[in-house]
Amino acid sequence: MDILLKERTQARPRGPKTRFRLACSKYLAILRVSAANNLAYILEVIFRALFLIVLIFVIGQLWKTTFAQHGSLLAGFTPNTMVWYLAAAEIIATSLPALTRTIDQEVRSGELAYLLGRPCSYVLYNYSRYLGERLVRLALNAVVAACVALIFVGPPQIGLVGVLAWPVMVFLAITIEFVCYFAIVLLAFWTENTQPFAFTFSRLELVLGGVLIPIEVFPQPLRGVAQILPFSTMLYGPSRILVRFNVGLFGQLLLQQVITLMVAGLILLVLYTLATRRVSINGG
Amino acid sequence: MTLVRSCGSTLRFIGAYFVANLQAAMEYRVAFGVQILVMLGNDCLWLLFWWSYFQRFPLVNGWQQTDIVVIWAVSALAFGLGMAVCGNVPKMAQIVMTGGLDAYLGMPRNALLHLCIAATDPSAWGDVLFAIGAYLLLLHPGVLNLLIFLGSAVAGALIFISFMVIVGSLAFFLGNTDGLVQQLLNALITFSSYPMNLFTGGVRILLFTVLPAGFISFVPLQMLHHFTWPLLGALFGFTLLILLCAVGIFHLGLKRYESGNLLGMQN
């Protein structure tokens, strides 16, 4: 009895540093398990990456033809930088996991009630799970896309600073995507099905996010609208910085990413608070 | 006489399933409407992409904006019709893998046909609405062109379905090919919705054989520009060929199928 009491009193007082370290190791463990799960089904990940070859080939072919007819420089892009831009944008666009479907199912089936009772934040638990899956896909996509672009237009004409800035922007971009999609899927508490909303968001992201055409090439007023919208921070921003680094633009896009993340995070927080109030857990 | 009666019976069977599937989808009216609107919006967004592209580059390899509207309309109608009537085909690999084929093999009707028409994809109606709307509103076609458009779309729908049956049947030989089926279907849709003049040599041969995107959008576009009987013959000849291949490969695979002893009922 004494020993038990001693263990309990010893376990209780923990400093904020220790608590933070323990929380980090907890979420890192979830991330590792999620990554390992995806590596276990590597064939499926490879199949998805194969479609990337088709996408880069088709869109690259479109731009090669366009450059051949309309000059070798379009809005500052050369054929080489354009294909590498497309490859960089497609790496992010095609690595998005089925986040909304999973959480939508958890909400609908009531599994959420059990997950909420776990000693971890439901949002951070999903974020770790999402990151684990996404990082595996990103890595494989990057290898495939780089090979295709190399064969297509040769080595990239990009600077080292762009290569160093790219991971930072990609990390922020995929975090923004997580927050946006998570906020969308929380609508499952009020609506029949959230898949149409997620689908619409993904299509808007593809077209207005500059994955097929860099935003500079859009005609006005579409260009102005696309630059303001949050979609440009997810695909256009990181890809543009990788292939044509510019300090001013980097600062501007980074600021836009941070503001987007804060606004989206706030919306998510409000929705999450409202949604969890609607959860009723019955014993059994 | 027996053949006519058999055809009539099959058409009635397809019609009955079509109505039942539509009624089932309309049970959730809001979800049904939202799915249609979302797909309509998705297709319009792609047209927006092409509009913005052609604003900057009005002519690419002889292609102009109206050509893009035609290939989008004809491929969307082909895919939409295919998925509205045979919405179960994309799930074929999964059905074979999980032993779900048992439910169809025990029925008196043709197993392949029954499997294909057992479900509808509500979002396909969004594609159908987009295709007809875009073609009529943006191109103002004459009666002959409208007939060619509709005929080509029906042939395209049969090509889509046959292609999916062929790749879905790979599950009989290779095991879990669900991911591969999805990727091949995405590849077919992608190639169908881009100007064919971008591709030359081996890729073009591939697009008229293994991945028949050329027959879904390019041949109809050529017929709408300048109708010739050989083009029509090529389109319907290929449609018949791929249909026969799909039926043949499915039955070949069926010989390797092992029942999953799955207990369940068709819903």
Half-sphere exposure of A282 (CA within 13 A, CB side): 2
Cα distance from B42 to chain A (closest Cα, Å)?
Answer: 6
Chain B residue closest to A60 (CA)?
A: B198
Residue in B120, B122, B128 with CA at minimum distance from that of residue B32:
B122
How far is residue A88's CA from residue A49's CA, in Å, rounded to a whole number?
13
Chain A contact probe: residue of B27, B40, B190 with most A CBs at under 10 A:
B190
Q: Do B179 and A43 touch (CB under 8 A)?
A: yes
Tokens of B36: 């249609």
Locate the chain A residue with the closest alpha carbon to B186: A51
Residues 6 or more apart whose CB falls under 8 angstroms from that of B253 comprise B96, B169, B170, B171, B172, B173
| Amino acid identity, position A174 | I
- Between vectors from CA A100 to CA A99 and to CA A105, what angle results, nearest 5°? 105
* CB of A108 less than 8 A from some CB of B: no
Q: How big is the A-B interface in CB pairs under 8 Å?
A: 74
Residue A5 lies in a domain: no
Say if residues A120 and A19 touch (Cβ distance below 8 Å): no
Determine the distance in angstroms separating the CA of A48 from the nearest CA of chain B, rounded to an integer.
Answer: 7
A13 belongs to a structural domain? no
Helix (H, G, I), strand (E, B) or coil at A23: helix
- pLDDT score of B202: 85
Among chain B residues, the shortest Cα distance to A208 is held by: B49
**A54 interaction partners in chain B (CB closer than 8 Å):** 186-187, 190-191
Proportion of chain B in helix, strand, coil states, percent, rounded to 5: 75, 0, 20
Assign 3-state DSSP to chain A and report helix, strand, coil percentages, each to 5. 80, 0, 20
Query: Are residues B112 and B250 in contact, defined by beta-carbon separation less than 8 angstroms?
Result: yes
Report which secondary-structure segment, H or E, holds A178: helix A160-185
User: Tokens 């995405």 appear where?
Assistant: B186
Burial class (CB in 10 A: 0-12, 13-18, 19+), B125: buried
CA–CA dist B180, B188 (Å, integer): 12
Distance of alpha carbon A249 from alpha carbon A140, whole angstroms: 28
| Burial class of residue B158 in the structure, from the number of CB atoms within 10 Å of its CB (0-12 exposed, 13-18 middle, 19+ buried) | buried
- Give the model confidence (pLDDT) of A114-132 as tens digits: 777 778 888 888 899 899 9
What CA–CA distances, in Å, run from A135 to A91, A95, A256, B52?
Answer: 11, 8, 23, 33
Question: Looking at the predicted structure, is the pLDDT value of residue B266 above 70?
Answer: no
CB contact under 8 Å between B61 and A69, yes or no, is yes
In a domain, A74, yes or no: yes
The type of residue at B11 is: L
Residues of chain A contacting B56 with CB distance shorter than 8 Å? 217, 219
pLDDT tens digits, B27-41: 777 778 888 888 888
CA distance to partner chain B, nearest, from residue A218 (Å): 6
Of B42, B55, B57, the CB nearest to A66: B57
pLDDT bucket at B203, cuts 50 / 70 / 90:
confident
Q: How many domains does chain A have?
A: 1
Report the range of poorest mean pLDDT among A59-63, B175-179, B258-262.
Answer: B258-262
CA distance B2 to chain A (A): 46
Is there a contact between B57 and A70 if contact means CB atoms under 8 Å apart? Answer: yes
CA dihedral B188, B189, B191, B195 (to 10 degrees): 150
Tens-place pLDDT, residues B139-166: 888 899 999 999 999 999 999 999 999 9
Q: Is B94 on the interface with A (CB under 8 A)?
A: no
- Which pairs with CB-CB distance under 8 Å and at least 24 residues apart come from A216-222? A216/A75, A216/A76, A216/A77, A217/A74, A217/A75, A217/A77, A217/B56, A218/B52, A219/B52, A219/B55, A219/B56, A222/B48, A222/B52
Mean pLDDT of B90-112: 86
Residues of B in contact with A207 (CB under 8 A): 45-46, 48-49
Stronger pLDDT, A1 or B64, i.e. the higher one:
B64
Inspect the interface and report whether the beta carbons of A47 and B186 lie closer than 8 Å.
no
Task: State whether B38 and A200 contact (CB < 8 Å).
Answer: yes
pLDDT digits (tens, 9 = 90+) for A187-234: 888 876 788 888 888 888 888 888 888 888 888 888 888 888 888 899
| SS3 label, residue B260 | coil
Judged against a pLDDT cut of 60, whether residue A10 lies above it is answered with no
Q: From A210, which residue of chain B is nearest by alpha-carbon distance? A: B49
The whole-number pLDDT of residue A187 equals: 85
Please give the biggest Cα pair distance in chain B.
59
**Residues of A whose CB is below 8 A from B52:** 213, 218-219, 222
User: Has residue B262 got a pLDDT over 80?
Assistant: no
Range of the domain at A229: 18-282
Q: Which of B30, B42, B52 sits opposite A213 (nearest CB)?
A: B52
Asked if the C-beta of A26 comes within 8 angstroms of chain B's C-beta atoms, the answer is no
Report the C-alpha gap between A108 and B121 in whole angstroms: 21
Indicate whether A8 belongs to any domain.
Answer: no
For residue A208, what are its two tokens?
């207005």
Q: Does B10 score more than 80 pLDDT?
A: yes
- Is residue A142 one of the residues assigned to a domain? yes
pTM, two decimals, is: 0.81
Stated as kind and residue range, the H or E segment containing B67 is helix B65-85
Tell me whether residues B42 and A200 touch, CB distance under 8 A.
yes
Q: ipTM score here?
A: 0.78
Is A77 strand, coil or helix? strand
Between chains, do A51 and B187 touch, taking CB under 8 Å as contact?
yes
Assess A116–B contact: CB distance below 8 Å, yes or no. no
Q: Does the pLDDT at position B24 exceed 80?
A: yes
* B193 contacts chain A (CB < 8 A): no
How far, in Å, CA of A214 to CA of A66, rounded?
14
Min distance A241 CA to chain B CA atoms (Å):
22
H helices then E strands: how many in chain B?
13, 0
Mean pLDDT of chain A: 83
Closest chain A CA to residue B46: A207
Partner-chain contact A65 B179, CB within 8 Å: no
Is A55 part of a structural domain of the chain?
yes
Residue A4: inside a domain: no
Nearest to B216 by CA among B159, B137, B254, B131: B159
